[in-house]
Amino acid sequence: MQIQNLFERDIFRPINGVVKADQLDNSSVWQELDEFVVTKELDQHFRKFFSNYCDAIKLKNDPDVSGKIGVWISSFFGSGKSHFIKVLSYLLRNQKAYAQWPEQEGCGVLRE
């Protein structure tokens, strides 16, 4: 058996190695969302972000909450910070993405 046969997807498919903020064409958005894997750690980060974000929206007139909202993301080079931020931006604006070909389908979604 060859290693490439262990993978569900073709390992020779084109993959965008660098996430770019201005790359918003449908094909790039689809691939970024389709290839994004939400680990347990990322799930915790998403939940923490949205918990604080929702509090700031609910309590927008409370300066102790809304006046102190901010996000700082730090990690090692190549760890996926840009990818995380871009996926977060898609979620915040309810970005829609469509498969380029009918046989493509998403592998999963964020869910409770």
Q: Report the distance separating Cα 58 and Cα 103, nearest Å.
A: 41
- Contact criterion met (CB below 8 Å) for 87 and 33: yes
What digits encode the pLDDT tens for the residues 26-45? 888 888 888 888 999 999 99
What digits encode the pLDDT tens for the residues 94-110? 887 777 655 555 444 44
- pLDDT at position 105 is 53
Amino acid at 21: A
Q: Report the distance separating Cα 99 and Cα 35, nearest Å.
A: 13
